Structure 1
Amino acid sequence: MLNVLAKIFTWWNGATIGTLFTVGRRGELIGQDEHGNRYYQSRDNISYDGRRLRWVIYNGYAEASKVSPDWHGWLHYTWDEPPTEAPLPRRAFETDYIPNLTGTPMAWRPQGSLAAQGRRPAATGDYQAWSPE
């Protein structure tokens, strides 16, 4: 029951029922990435420049950084073939995906940050307070 209410009222946690209805009627599933995001292309809609529309439905929370570079290129018409047909070669220097944790409780907070759990460390001897003359 809670999942149905979430589908009706939240757009940021997956897709709403209206979106799923529209996708089922007008979208064509092109592929799915390793994070569970599903990528679609319109069957009939042609955009203003003559190309078929492309979009993503996120698995879980809608976070744009969850789209990998190869799918990002397909979504933005950088290349015509989706990564399911022509995957990008993985380079030795590329690292695995790390989600964007900004704004979450797991975000990195540097030492001395007001949002950190501890107190600000005391100033050391290299600090001199400014005083007006």
Structure 2
Amino acid sequence: MSILGKIFTWWNGATFGTMLDSARHGVRVGEDAQGNVYFRAKQPYPKGHPFAGRERRWVIYNGANDASRVPAEWHGWLHGNFDGVPESNLPPPRVWEVDFTPNATGTSAAYRPQGALERGGHRAAATGDYEAWSPDQG
């Protein structure tokens, strides 16, 4: 992305100001499997601030800014559910757990069921297992 893009856009990664602020006022805490980098502020919120005494935490996404790309364990850390980095608070992974898949809504990879306009708008006829309600039948 060009330098102008970094200065003026926020939807395709961190802006120049956010990266500068992270370097000056933040401490890198960790990185998830997708390459998102997590930070905490060097100083807590000051007295008089609504969140006084609490720690400010944030993420810089590796790619598009999409909150659904934050894994559950890092989401908990961002919201202050625990203090240590997620790796130190997680149980071992279960055999049935699957890897993250991005939210495909609004992309060409989005799920489109039979009958969707993008698939021609035709769906199978009703099979007869549904009977419409009629006000006359009570």
Q: TM-score, normalised by structure 2?
A: 0.80
Partner of 2:12: 13
The one-letter amino acid of 2:98's match is T
Partner of 2:67: 64
| Pair 1:79–1:124, CA change in 2 (3 A) | closer
Partner of 1:123: 125
For 1:22-41, list aligned pairs within 5 A.
22-41=21-40
Encode CA deviations 1:11-70: one digit per residue, 9 max, x unaligned.
011100111111111111001111010000000132624121001111101111111111
The one-letter amino acid of 2:24's match is R
Q: TM-score, normalised by structure 1?
A: 0.83
The one-letter amino acid of 2:38's match is Y
Partner of 1:42: 41
SS of equivalent residue, structure 1 residue 60: coil
SS of equivalent residue, structure 1 residue 20: helix
Find the partner of 2:100 among 97, 101, 106.
Answer: 97
Segments of structure 2 that go 5 or more residues without pairing to the other structure are 133-138
Distance 1:18 1:73 in 2: 25
The one-letter amino acid of 2:120's match is G
Distance 1:68 1:128 in 2: 44
Tell me which protein shows more strand as a share of its residues.
Answer: 1
Segments of structure 1 that go 5 or more residues without pairing to the other structure are none
In the TM superposition, residue 87 of structure 1 has moved relative to its aligned partner by: 4.6
SS of equivalent residue, structure 1 residue 52: coil
| Pair 1:128–1:122, CA change in 2 (3 A) | farther
SS of equivalent residue, structure 1 residue 93: coil
Matched, 1:4 2:3: yes
How many aligned positions are there?
128
| Pair 1:118–1:22, CA change in 2 (3 A) | same
Encode CA deviations 1:61-109: one digit per residue, 9 max, x unaligned.
111111111111111111110124x051212222111111111221101
Identical aligned residues as a percent:
48
Distance 2:80 2:124 in 1: 53
